[in-house]
């Protein structure tokens, strides 16, 4: 899928990877809608981006960039974004990138009912699951090709003994991505995921400096390039693009021979689910 003139929704676009994505996508000619929880941060970034656009003698109003305050765990907030985009841009969303997330800093010795202790899973996994479902339903209703990109982590592939809830949420993102990608394979609705190693972002401050220094970090440019690849490469669906300090590579699709066996056994059920989707939406073909 080309990027120019597409409408891209970036969840968590006011800082870190999300902010860099917003800036890059605008430079590549996309219409960008970004979300965040802090109204001032969102408004300030939007104003900054509009000034930058104006200085280049491009569209000088806010017609290429929108900010929407959003709690990713709140279903109505997701729905409102799509209607607002349609109203203000006269276009519908083509690409959804879920970057919004938080780090788990709790310890196993903490009270299990402590306020907010499971917020990491609510934001990173439940919120992302809602964003995915709303996006896919949107593409089906609009009868259009669509691209969803989720964000996992090195800890979606490995253990994180000091952040088990964070690791659980990021493992869950990979399962979500593979499952939707498997369901919609051979269609023009694609769901993929980026799993970066350590990136220099504000969230990195929550980690161990010793571990990060020894393991190394990847550049923000390499990280952003991975998202762009998943937008542009229509052959990828249900894939996990891992970015390490040495290289970027696609993880083995759908796991191993066990997954292939499951696909054969569940073929009729998968086809039945797609038939239900087609009956309701008349899409995908």
| 40 vs 207, residue with greater confidence | 40
Which structural domain, as residue segments, surrounds residue 13?
7-281
**pTM of the full structure:** 0.92
Cis peptide before 284 (omega within 30 of 0): yes
Q: Per-residue DSSP letters for 77-121?
A: HHHHHHHHHHHHHSS---EEEE---------TTS-TT-TTTTHHH
203 falls in which pLDDT band (50, 70, 90)?
low
At 10 the three-state DSSP class reads strand
In a domain? residue 2: no
Count of structural domains within the chain: 1
Task: Please give the pLDDT value at position 191.
Answer: 99
In a domain, 177, yes or no: yes
Confidence at residue 63, expressed as pLDDT on a 0 to 100 scale? 81
pLDDT at 246: 73
CA dihedral 266, 144, 122, 16 (to 10 degrees): 120
Residue 77 in domain: yes
> What is the pLDDT, as a whole number, of residue 169?
97
| CATH code for the domain in which residue 57 is found | 3.40.50.720
Q: Is residue 1 part of a domain?
A: no
Q: Which two tokens stand for residue 237?
A: 């669906």
Put residue 131 in one of left, alpha, beta given phi > 0 → left and psi -120 to 50 → alpha: alpha
Is 173 domain-assigned?
yes
Tens-digit pLDDT profile for residues 248-278: 777 765 556 888 899 999 999 999 999 999 9
The helix or strand, by DSSP H or E, that contains position 284, with its residue range, turns out to be: none
Give domain status of residue 16, yes or no.
yes
Contact call for residues 46 and 135 (beta carbons, < 8 A): no
The pLDDT value given to residue 117: 81
- Is 213 part of any domain? yes
Q: Would you say residue 198 lies in a domain? A: yes
Tell me the two tokens of residue 53.
């656009």
> Given a cut of 90, is residue 144 above it in pLDDT?
yes
pLDDT reported for residue 121: 95
């Amino acid at each position: 899928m080309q990027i120019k003139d597409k409408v891209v929704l970036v969840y968590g676009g006011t800082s870190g990877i999300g902010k860099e994505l917003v800036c890059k996508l605008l430079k590549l000619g996309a219409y960008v809608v970004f979300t965040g929880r802090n109204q001032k941060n969102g408004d300030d970034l939007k104003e900054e981006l509009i000034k930058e656009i104006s200085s280049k003698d491009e569209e000088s109003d806010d017609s290429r960039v929108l900010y929407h305050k959003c709690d990713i765990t709140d279903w109505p907030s997701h729905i409102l974004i799509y209607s607002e985009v349609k109203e203000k841009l006269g276009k519908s969303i083509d690409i959804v990138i879920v970057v919004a997330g938080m780090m788990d800093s709790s310890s196993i010795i903490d009270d299990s009912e402590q306020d907010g202790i499971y917020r990491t899973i609510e934001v990173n996994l439940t919120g992302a699951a809602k964003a995915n479902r709303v996006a896919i339903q949107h593409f089906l209703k609009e009868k259009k090709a669509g691209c969803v990109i989720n964000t996992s982590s090195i800890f979606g592939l490995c253990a994180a003994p000091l952040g088990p809830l964070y690791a659980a949420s990021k493992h869950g993102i990979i399962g979500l991505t593979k499952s939707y990608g498997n369901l919609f394979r051979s269609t023009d609705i694609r769901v993929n995921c980026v799993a970066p190693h350590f990136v220099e972002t504000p969230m990195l401050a929550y980690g161990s400096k010793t571990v990060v220094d020894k393991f190394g970090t990847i550049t923000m440019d390499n990280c952003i390039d991975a998202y762009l690849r998943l937008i542009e490469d229509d052959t990828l669906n249900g894939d996990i693009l891992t970015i390490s300090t040495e290289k970027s590579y696609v993880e083995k699709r759908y796991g191993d021979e066990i997954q292939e066996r499951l696909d054969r056994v569940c073929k009729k059920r998968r086809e039945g689910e797609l038939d239900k989707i087609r009956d309701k939406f008349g899409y995908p073909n």
